[in-house]
Amino acid sequence: MTSGPAQTVMAIDPGSSKCGLAVVRRENGSLSVRYRTIVPSEELATALEAAIQAEPCDLIVVGSGTRSRRTVESVRASLPGKAVLVVDESNTTLKARERYWEHNPRRGWRRLLPATLQMPPEPIDDFAAVVLAERVLAT
């Protein structure tokens, strides 16, 4: 990871029914998650404005998967003038699962099985957005 100037990225993991949204900041060579949520796709514009108010960003990153084109159009309409970058989202689901289990330690019988074989009991789109942001900030 480079230790360039401080930078804040908002990442969106688009989906047909819901979107993951995360704001990640790189500062002094370390990354910190400032904001993450999952919102219904039709409420993305409102969520973007709320996230920008809470945590201003330098760049908006959108995953290249399902509904990517519509999501980019929505972002550009809601936040004109913000730079938008479409990023390959291959393997983000696996990485998001790992990140979920890091934040929600497995208990009981779940500790006996490898995390990669387990499905989290709740949506992980917000963690997928974190992974997208980290990909951009790590370069």
| CATH number (domain holding residue 114) | 3.30.420.140
Residue range of the domain that includes 105? 7-137
Within a domain: 1:
no
Nearest to 30 by CA among 2, 68, 65: 2
Within a domain: 84:
yes
pLDDT tens-place string over residues 39-82: 999 999 999 999 998 889 989 999 998 899 999 999 999 999 89
What is the number of domains present in the chain?
A: 1
Dmax over CA atoms of the chain, in Å, equals: 49
pLDDT tens-place string over residues 10-44: 999 999 999 999 999 999 889 999 999 999 999 99
User: Higher-confidence residue: 115 or 75?
Assistant: 75
**Contact present, 126 and 20 (Cβ < 8 Å):** yes
Give me the DSSP letters along 73-104. HHHHHHSTT--EEEE--TTHHHHHHHHHHHHS
Answer yes or no: is pLDDT of 85 > 90. yes
